[in-house]
A = this chain, B = another copy of it.
Amino acid sequence: MLILGIDPGFAIVGFGLVEADRGRQRLVQCGAITTPAGEPLPARLRQIADDMDLLLAQFQPQAMAVEELFFNNNITTGIGVAQARGVLLLAAERRGVPIFEYTPSQVKQAVVGYGKAEKRQVMDMTRRLLNLSAVPKPDDAADAVAIALCHARSFTSRLQSPDAARPGSGRYEVRKQVR
């Protein structure tokens, strides 16, 4: 199964494509979509949407994994990120790609085995699990790879768990805050 991990952003969207096969994971591709700061907002959203569309068309992932959005740092930056995230989710939805959402601590738990792991530990485990010589660059791409890896590892365990027969049990769930 090919998983597209996404680290949503407005100036930069990280992406990571991870192939998951019988408990093993392999990095297929990673990188970032960037938009120029000087451009008007709608043009930047369109560029994100178009580039995301190209990614989905080229790689045809079977799932998209994306981090849940929190506005703990900068609320005004968060508005831009959330607008971009809407556009990213729409692109996947229009292509029928199932979307899965994880909290930062779920990513840490799945990748490091400890929900309060530090970012550095997540990066290091991501590199080791995928047998890479270095942590992917930029940081946004590395984060996206970790999210894809989280889905690969969570999904695999779920498939092996007793409730695996329930189809779509890992599908995106509407959270209270977005109703």
Contacts and interface: CB of A to CB of B under 8 A. Distances in A.
Interface of A: 10-11, 37-46, 49, 69, 71, 75-80, 82-87, 89-90, 92-94, 99, 171-179
Greatest chain B CB density within 10 A among A44, A69, A92, A179 is at A179
Q: What's the number of copies of this chain in the assembled complex? A: 2
Greatest chain B CB density within 10 A among A45, A46, A71 is at A45
7 contacts: A46-B93, A49-B94, A71-B78, A79-B178, A85-B86, A87-B87, A90-B90
Counting from the closest, the 8 A-B pairs by CB-CB distance are A83-B86, A76-B177, A82-B82, A86-B86, A80-B178, A42-B93, A86-B87, A46-B93
